[in-house]
Amino acid sequence: MKRVNYIFCLLVFILGCKDTTDDLPINNGNGNGAQDPEVGVQLIFPFEGSLCNEGTNITPTESTVNFEWIPNDNALSYKLSVQNLDTDVITEYITEDFILPITIERSQAYRWVVEYDIQEETKTSAIWNFYNAGPGEQTYAPFPAEILSPTMAENLASTTSITLQWSGSDVDDDIIGYDVYFGTESSPTLNTSDMTSNQLTVAVAPGSIYYWEIVTKDAEGNTSESGVYQFRILE
């Protein structure tokens, strides 16, 4: 019986001395666990692809919207960029906060992104679109198509064909098609109309510069333009 008690006590001693460090979340000083320094901030509000009805100081033409994101412990300050997609005007704000009230126009589409610098490198959040609701509006134009590939001023290896790729979104979820403008002129002409897919393969020639634009159309007859992008096919 004494031998049994000895073994039991020995086991208790060994288990009690086990290093439990690996069972705990790594703490970086704020008590909330680790945060990957390689990851940019995560956006919260206004929501991606949404109709924003929230705001204060509301007038027929403006409202104040709280832009919010999850703070990153590695950021000393943030740069919030807000682009009016109807006018293409981009406004930048430097702040140490993670909730920033901004007065913006109503009945306008916006795109926003948050950045911060760490060790001489810029970390960037996702890019979100939203529509700031206007008085009495029942339908909204689609967001301008997001150009995925080729990107602006991209140089591509010599080839005879390339696939144009983009994405579209609409708060009313009623996109019916896309018109693709493509060519070697800085104001490209219509190549394909009423496309329902988000990509198109086109013929190209080495040593040429090409321009392209996507026009998004919805069921209510509203349209939006991506703006003209260009790329080069190397020889």
pLDDT in tens, the chain (235 residues): 444 444 344 343 333 333 333 332 222 333 333 334 456 889 999 999 999 998 899 999 999 999 999 998 889 999 999 999 989 999 999 999 999 999 999 999 999 999 999 888 999 999 999 999 988 767 889 999 999 999 999 999 999 999 999 999 999 999 999 999 999 999 999 999 999 999 999 999 999 999 999 999 999 999 999 999 999 999 9
CATH 2.60.40.10 residue ranges of the chain are 42-132, 146-233
Put residue 33 in one of left, alpha, beta given phi > 0 → left and psi -120 to 50 → alpha: left
Task: Copy the structure tokens of residue 70.
Answer: 């999850």
Nearest one of 198, 207, 199 to 159, comparing CA atoms = 207
Reported residue count of the chain is 235
Q: Are 140 and 126 in contact (CB under 8 A)?
A: no
Put residue 107 in one of left, alpha, beta given phi > 0 → left and psi -120 to 50 → alpha: left
CA 196 to chain centre: 23
Instruction: Indicate the pTM of the whole model.
Output: 0.74
146-233 is classed CATH 2.60.40.10:
yes
Topology at the third CATH level for domain 42-132: Immunoglobulin-like (2.60.40)
CA angle 160, 200, 150 (to 5 degrees): 70
